[in-house]
Amino acid sequence: MFNKILIANRGEIACRVAATCRRLGIRTVAVYSDADADARHVAFCDEAVHIGGPAARDSYLRADHIIEMARATGAQAIHPGYGFLSENEAFAEACAAAGLAFIGPPASAIHAMGSKSAAKQLMEKAAVPLVPGYHGEDQDPALLRREADRIGYPVLLKASAGGGGKGMRVVESGDGFEAALASVKREASASFGDDKVLVEKYLTRPRHIEIQVFADTHGNCVYLFERDCSVQRRHQKVLEEAPAPGMTEDRRRAMGEAAVAAAKAVGYVGAGTVEFIANQDGSFYFMEMNTRLQVEHPVTEMITGQDLVEWQLRVAAGEALPLTQDQLQISGHALEARIYAENPDKQFLPSTGTLRFLRTPPAVQFMRGGDAHGPAGVRIDAGVREGDTISPFYDPMIAKLIVWGRDRDEALARMAQALASYHVVGLSTNVAFLQRLVKSEAFRTADLDTGLIERNQAVLFPPQKSVGIESISLAVAALVERDIRTRHIDAADRNSPWTHAGAWRLNGRDTRTLHFTCGGSKLEVVLKDDTRRSTLIYADQAAPFAYTFNADDIRVDLGTRRTHGQVHVEGDTFHVFTAGRHTVLEWQDPLSHAGESEGEGGKLTAPMPGKVIAVMVEPGSTVTRGTPLLVMEAMKMEHTISAPADGVVSEVLYGVGEQVAEGAQLLAFAVGDTAPA
């Protein structure tokens, strides 16, 4: 076995590979770009070498440089992870030439599977089933039309050089054939510089089922069963599971044996995945082979109890496969959800930024040897921590959430629960979308095919719900609690008005009206009586209100209803996490919105005695609602006076360093577009 390897990757897969190395006593060398100097994978490995600029082509794709670094650090092998150089034939060759083991298949196998049409021809020879169709060289339009008629409509015209769904057109009947052919040829030459097409029987509701295979250098090859990756969005996998719902023992064996035949046909060694497209009736056809460890490999680990990275290392070191086909078994059911920094409400646009707050469900980190699922049946593979950033340079995946259950229903329940405990502040994520997906009727009943998300738009993208009393009451609890704690700190200060009256009773009354905004809407909550035994009135509902804190968790009692959740507070922004939902509430602090009670513009006054510590505007400044204008310091706390509306600052009455009395006018403000000419 190796005693040191270099991991030519980043993020969760680099950490995941390093975790197994650590367990096996293999030292690890990380590589990192300028953007990743503080990344988790760098901290996770024993050593790290800087390899260049943030763009992948300047760092993670610099094959020669990475090989040089492996040699310089004394690594004996390179693990490429997935993406980047993992399926690069020249890189695999260059490793061998440099005397390094490439932890992946031989370059010849990468080559054989690299050309989709050549791969299909090889598979045909190896008796691996292919979609009924025409894959020939002769591109005579009349011949193609005859082939389409023979295959039977609907047919799919595919650009031979295509992939990832580009250059495909469904033809429903002979009438539409000519026009569709011309359009696919146009798109194919424009996108791939090659207008060759193939004709296939079109599968109307296909499933994506792939088989994990493993081969060693001693002639052994096994399959580690299937994964169902049918739930995709624009050819990106969203949820993966193993085993595939509805799979029979006979079909599993047939698919497994076909996948092994495919691997053997190209002299495969190491971890590989043979992708099939399957009909609802179970018939299946070869699509392509991925010559790497895949993102979704953890679901296979969860149901087999095997560490696939350990298998990769052993095979690359020349050992035989750890188990024979007969020794492999499926136990239970596993699901994986890919948690992405993206915005489902904006066409899933990647969302970059800092993970300012990150709370995850109880879980094991990465694979644990001999203990596939951990006590809670939840595993998280993540390459980022709280405080890390998701940059625009790389894939915006935050983590993979993997759950195991004795059966699919148990796994589903655990996934829903785990997603509900996955709390992120700082960027948009797909967590709520995933939550709706796993709870959807279609997914729950395993009515799977590649069109599941498209077909279930209505349930998966529901109109925004109004904010419930549960979320509001949790925010109120957090607000009251913060106020009490603030007063405790200030109690040492005898002059502090906070020791006499809380912010709650600035008016000397026991009824407080709290204003929040959520998105564009304004919300009003009335809290009556004392802080711990009160009545909360919201949206025509009135309920007794009491709360208790239990570490991070807040429990709120609303009469006979009890709810709980977590609230992450940043200034006056309350991130409420309850019942699997993340609600962002902005509290309209009367202290920092002092001017608003003055109505439309007019005076902006000091809410308490204090000192001016910053003035951000000058007479004539045009500002939008909420723009900070001036900062006061009072009671050792800063208070920002913000613009009550869009408008123009007409006068600034105090400068930095000046003391002001309570109620003193600080600024004069004119609402509207009245800027001087």
Q: Choosing from 227, 252, 292, 512, which is the catalytic residue?
A: 292
Please enumerate in sequence order all residues whose Cβ is within 8 A of that of 335, keeping only pairs 6 or more positions apart, or say none. Answer: 239, 240, 241, 299, 402, 403, 411, 412, 415, 438
Total residue count of the chain as it appears in this document = 677
Instruction: Take residue 420 and report the two structure tokens written for it.
Output: 């509900």
Q: Cα–Cα–Cα angle for 298, 301, 304, nearest 5°?
A: 150
| Nearest to 30, CA basis, from 70, 88, 87 | 70
Q: How far is the CB of 244 from ligand MV4 (least distance, A)?
A: 13
**CB-nearer residue toward ligand MV4: 41 or 185:** 185
Please enumerate in sequence order all residues whose Cβ is within 8 A of that of 284, keeping only pairs 6 or more positions apart, or say none. Answer: 129, 209, 251, 254, 255, 258, 276, 277, 278
Please enumerate in sequence order all residues whose Cβ is within 8 A of that of 657, keeping only pairs 6 or more positions apart, or say none. Answer: 611, 612, 613
| Tokens 């613009």 found at | 643
Separation of alpha carbons 77 and 26, rounded Å: 11
Structural contact between residues 14 and 44, judged by C-beta atoms closer than 8 angstroms = yes
DSSP of 267-316, one letter per residue?
T--EEEEEEEEE-TTS-EEEEEEE-S--TTHHHHHHHH---HHHHHHHHH
**CB-nearer residue toward ligand MV4: 200 or 381:** 200
Strand boundaries in 317-473, DSSP class E? 333-340, 342-343, 349-350, 353-354, 357-359, 364-365, 378-382, 389-390, 397-405, 423-425
**Within 13 Å, how many C-alpha atoms sit on residue 130's CB side?**
23
| Nearest to 652, CA basis, from 642, 662, 665, 663 | 665
Separation of alpha carbons 357 and 163, rounded Å: 38
Q: How far is the CB of 440 from ligand MV4 (least distance, A)?
A: 18
Structural contact between residues 401 and 422, judged by C-beta atoms closer than 8 angstroms = yes
| Tokens 């190796």 found at | 2
**CB-nearer residue toward ligand MV4: 448 or 585:** 448
Instruction: Write a three-state SS string for 273-285.
Output: EEEEEECCCCCEE
**Within 13 Å, how many C-alpha atoms sit on residue 15's CB side?**
20
Structural contact between residues 227 and 304, judged by C-beta atoms closer than 8 angstroms = no
**CB-nearer residue toward ligand MV4: 33 or 212:** 212
**Partners of residue 102 on adjacent β-strands:** 78
Separation of alpha carbons 498 and 590, rounded Å: 15
DSSP state of 504: G
**CB-nearer residue toward ligand MV4: 205 or 487:** 205
Verify cis geometry, omega within 30 degrees of 0, for the bond prior to 463: no
**CB-nearer residue toward ligand MV4: 26 or 197:** 197
Q: How far is the CB of 187 from ligand MV4 (least distance, A)?
A: 14
Residues that bind ligand MV4 (CB under 6 A): 131, 156, 163-165, 200-203, 206, 208, 232, 235, 277, 287, 450
| Strand, coil or helix: 66 | helix
**H or E element, residue 258:** helix 249-265
Strand boundaries in 284-413, DSSP class E? 284-290, 333-340, 342-343, 349-350, 353-354, 357-359, 364-365, 378-382, 389-390, 397-405
**CB-nearer residue toward ligand MV4: 56 or 159:** 159
Q: How far is the CB of 56 from ligand MV4 (least distance, A)?
A: 23
Separation of alpha carbons 196 and 397, rounded Å: 35
Separation of alpha carbons 140 and 452, rounded Å: 36
Q: How far is the CB of 338 from ligand MV4 (least distance, A)?
A: 15
- Is 561 in the active site? no
| Nearest to 289, CA basis, from 302, 313, 270, 307 | 270
**CB-nearer residue toward ligand MV4: 16 or 185:** 185
Q: Cα–Cα–Cα angle for 274, 275, 278, nearest 5°?
A: 130
Separation of alpha carbons 254 and 459, rounded Å: 36
Q: How far is the CB of 433 from ligand MV4 (least distance, A)?
A: 18
Q: How far is the CB of 350 from ligand MV4 (least distance, A)?
A: 21
B/e letters for 535-564, b = 16+ CB within 10 Å, e = fewer, are ebbbeeeebebbbeeeeeebebbbeeeebb
Residues labelled as active-site residues: 292
